[in-house]
Structure 1
Amino acid sequence: MTPMIEIDEVTKYFGTKLVLDRVSLTVNRHEVVCLIGASGSGKSTLLRCVNRLVAHDYGTIRLDGVPVDDPRFGKTGLQKRAGIVFQSYNLFPHMTVLENITLAPRRVHGVSRAEATARAQEVLARFGMDGFAQAYPEQLSGGQQQRVAIARALMTKPDVLLLDEITAALDPELVGEVLAIIRGLKDAGMTMMIVTHEMGFARDCADRVAFLSDGMILEEGPPDRIFGAPEQPRTRAFLDRIIASGRL
């Protein structure tokens, strides 16, 4: 397997608070790795460190063999290669769908309006949103807005997609449509690192699952083993709570 993301002994503090404690993890090309764990365990921070939205303090993160803080990425090269989608859609309310998803390619990456529009039409059609190019975010459901946010992240044809709790803000009936999009991306070979509380989705979609607690990866492995026979007591306790709540 070819490593796409290599995280080696990464440590991160916010002030005096240790958020990531010597975390090491590899995500191979075309692989889907889900990060699970309780809120505050460091999952989202780790995801943000991969594309330098948050700078780690110690250790090394490489994307396709190049450290993420390497000047070769420039100001926007890393974000172009590692797209990220958050639980809040972060769409500009005063812009149409088309304007929202073509803004960064045109303004940041220097893509022509014609090229960006053609790419946007292609991506929107892929997600069944081609009839909504001139709609405004307030005219869309939560699931539709999240599909637009995913489409925006794919506009630069990234090597890696980072997904941070993208169903957390959705009504339960809308979760399935967004998860179906992610399954489609997996089938197409997209490399993904996903923070999720959807344990059923992680079990069905992930190639590997990593469980974080107190800023550390306590164990990782295939979903069948992590969910069926976890080795660490804290992993078992976490999953027992999930099962008791009916979420697995």
Structure 2
Amino acid sequence: MTPMIEIDEVTKYFGQKLVLDRVSLTVNRHETICLIGASGSGKSTLLRCVNRLVDHDYGTIRLDGIPNDDPSFGKTGLQKRASIVFQSYNLFPHMNVLDNITLAPRRVHSVARAEAEDRGHAILARFGMDGFARAYPEQLSGGQQQRVAIARALMTRPDVLLLDEITAALDPELVGEVLAIIRSLKDEGMTMMIVTHEMAFARDCADRVAFLADGDILEIDAPERLFSNPAHDRTRRFLHRITEAGRL
């Protein structure tokens, strides 16, 4: 297997608080890894460190073999090849859907408007959203807005998709339609790191599942093994609480 993301002994503090404690993880090309764990365990911070929305303090993160703190990282375009999607959508309210998703290709990648819009219509059509190309975010449901946010992330043709609790803000009946999109991307070979509280989704979709606690990966394994016979007591206690809450 070919590594796409290599995280080696990564440590991150926010002030005096240790958020990531010497985390190491390799994500192979075309692999989907789900990060699970309680709130505050470091999952979202780890995602943000991968494409340098947050700078780590120690350790190394390599994307396609190049350290993301190397001066050449931004120049080679690697930073733009790791797109991130958040739970809060982050769509510009004053722009319609098509303008929202074509802004980065036009402004950052210098793609001509006509080409960007052609690409945008194609991606929106794939997600059943092309009929809303001229609609504004406030006119869309939460599930529709999240589909637009994923479409926007795909507009730059990334090699890596980082997904941070993208269903957390959705009503339960809308979760399935968004997760179906993620499954289709996995089937196409997209490399993904996914922070999720949807345990059934992690079990069914991930190639491997990593359990984080106290800023470290305590256990990582294939989902069928981690969910049925976790090796670490912290993992067992976490999954027991999830089961009692009816989320697994």
Q: Scaled by the length of structure 1, what TM-score is found?
A: 0.98
Residue type of the partner of 1:159? Answer: D
Matched, 1:122 2:122: yes
Residue type of the partner of 2:111? Answer: V
Q: Which residue of 2 aligns with 1:100?
A: 100
Aligned length: 248
Matched, 1:27 2:27: yes
Matched, 1:213 2:213: yes
Q: Which residue of 2 aligns with 1:146?
A: 146
Counting only pairs closer than 5 Å after superposition, residues 221-232 of structure 1 correspond to structure 2 as 221-232=221-232
Partners of 2:140 and 2:75 lie apart in 1 by 32
Cα distance 1:137–1:76, how it changes in 2: closer, same or farther (>3 A)?
farther
**Could you give the per-residue CA deviations for residues 185-215 of structure 1, whole angstroms, max 9, x where no partner exists?**
0001100000000000000000000000000
Residue type of the partner of 1:202? Answer: A
Q: Which residue of 2 aligns with 1:80?
A: 80
Q: Which residue of 1 aligns with 2:246?
A: 246
Counting only pairs closer than 5 Å after superposition, residues 160-239 of structure 1 correspond to structure 2 as 160-239=160-239
Residue type of the partner of 2:18? Answer: L
Partners of 2:61 and 2:36 lie apart in 1 by 20
Residue type of the partner of 1:194? Answer: I
* Shift, 1:78, TM fit: 3.4
* Shift, 1:75, TM fit: 6.3
Q: Scaled by the length of structure 2, what TM-score is found?
A: 0.98
Residue type of the partner of 1:160? Answer: V
SS of 2:78's partner is helix
Partners of 1:119 and 1:72 lie apart in 2 by 28
Partners of 2:53 and 2:187 lie apart in 1 by 28
**After the TM superposition, which of the residue ranges 117-126 and 12-21 deviates more from structure 2?**
117-126
SS of 1:74's partner is helix
SS of 1:77's partner is coil
What's the Cα RMSD here?
1.0
Partners of 1:27 and 1:116 lie apart in 2 by 30
Checking the alignment, whether the CA contact within 8 Å between 1:76 and 1:109 is kept in structure 2 is: no
Checking the alignment, whether the CA contact within 8 Å between 1:44 and 1:164 is kept in structure 2 is: yes
Partners of 1:74 and 1:141 lie apart in 2 by 35
* Shift, 1:109, TM fit: 1.8
Residue type of the partner of 1:131? Answer: G
* Shift, 1:5, TM fit: 0.4
* Shift, 1:115, TM fit: 1.4
**After the TM superposition, which of the residue ranges 203-212 and 131-140 deviates more from structure 2?**
131-140
SS of 1:9's partner is strand
State, as a whole percentage, how many aligned pairs show the same letter: 84
Partners of 1:243 and 1:79 lie apart in 2 by 38
* Shift, 1:122, TM fit: 1.2
Partners of 2:181 and 2:207 lie apart in 1 by 17
* Shift, 1:73, TM fit: 2.6
Counting only pairs closer than 5 Å after superposition, residues 15-54 of structure 1 correspond to structure 2 as 15-54=15-54
Checking the alignment, whether the CA contact within 8 Å between 1:76 and 1:108 is kept in structure 2 is: no
Query: Which consecutive segments of 4 or more residues in structure 1 shift more than 3 A?
Result: none
Checking the alignment, whether the CA contact within 8 Å between 2:68 and 2:79 is kept in structure 1 is: no
Matched, 1:66 2:66: yes
